[in-house]
Amino acid sequence: MNYSSKLALAIYLILPSYQVNAIDLIGNAEARQAIEVVSEVSGMIANHPLQPGTPVHRGEPLITISPEDFQLEVRKQKANVALVSADLKIKRSLYLRYQELRNKNSLSQNELDIAEADYQAAKAQLQLAQIELEKSEIDLHNTRIHSEIDGFIIKKSVDKGSWVEKGTTLYHLVCTKKIIARLHASEYDIPQLKVGQAIKVWSDVKPDVKVDAKIKRIGVELDETSLAYPIDVEITNENGHFLPGMALHATTDV
């Protein structure tokens, strides 16, 4: 062995050796919370629906169903409550009068019983009328549909002038404040991964923005489409760096 070889061997033996192993994964961003906005009443869409991609805030108006018929129904039910209330007042007065007459033996028990039955029936009619009024007011309120989350519209299913039935889907919304990075790991990577393990995630759109996160879930069944095991990483996304559908990359040291 010449001098150069001996020197190289000595340096190799003296210097510490470092081996850094990392697992690189790819996947897509998914919304943690997604909801369907459905119509609570039947009617005609009165305004132009918001378009997909539009950001929305909790409590913000999304769409309006023509309220005219519902406003008329509320007025009708209010009038019905007033009518039934007046009838109840008469039935109550008559029943109290019959009680006095019965106490003086000036009225038969049967007539008093009939008056009492009429009075009780009138009270029940008033309760029913109040229920119908409450229902009509709720229906009128439901003609204005608001967002229940902060997020984005990803799909609309109606246009202005469309007739919708109760239960018709109007929009699909997603919340982007929390994003799930659905990554894919091979069977060789799985033994080196564990829940709670630190991981860095970034997107193709902003490759310089790397977010620190932790593995939330590790699948135990092979996905037949990707032929890989799903790895879920939950990302706090207050700055909006990630959107549903984005291609993601991740790396974790092992």
Q: CATH no. for residue 73?
A: 1.10.287.470
Which pLDDT value is given to residue 18? 45
pTM over 0.85: no
Give the count of domains, the chain: 2
The answer to whether residues 170 and 241 belong to one domain is yes
Q: Is the pLDDT of residue 209 over 50?
A: yes
Which of 159, 133, 168, 225 is closest to 36 using CA atoms?
168
Shared domain for 206 and 130, answered yes or no, is no
Kindly give the interhelix angle for 109-141 and 68-103, rounded to the nearest 10 degrees: 160
Instruction: Check whether residue 81 and residue 95 sit in a common domain.
Output: yes
Domain assignment present for residue 5? The answer is no
Given 141, 162, 177, the domain boundary residue is: 141
Residue 9 has pLDDT above 50, yes or no: no
pLDDT over threshold 50, residue 36: yes
Q: What is the pLDDT of residue 17?
A: 45
Q: Compute the average pLDDT of residues 149-166.
A: 92
Average pLDDT over residues 85-110: 94
In sequence order, which residues have a C-beta less than 8 Å from that of residue 80 and are 6 or more positions away?
129, 132, 133
Q: Is 51 helix (H, G, I), strand (E, B) or coil?
A: coil
Task: Specify which residues 182 forms β-bridges with.
Answer: 28, 232
The DSSP element (H or E) to which 250 belongs, if any, is strand 247-253
Report if residue 198 sits inside a domain.
yes
The mean pLDDT value for 157-165 works out to 94
- Examine the domain organization and report whether 153 and 240 are in the same domain: yes
Do 181 and 248 sit in the same domain of this protein? yes
The parent domain of residue 108 ranges over 68-141
**Domain final residue pick, 141, 170, 205:** 141
Higher model confidence: residue 211 or residue 74?
Answer: 74
Comparison of pLDDT for 60 and 8, the residue scoring more: 60
Decide which of 92, 118, 141 is a domain's last residue: 141
Q: Which tens digits make up the pLDDT trace of 98-146?
A: 999 999 998 999 999 999 999 999 999 999 999 999 999 999 999 999 9
Q: Are both 192 and 137 inside the same structural domain?
A: no
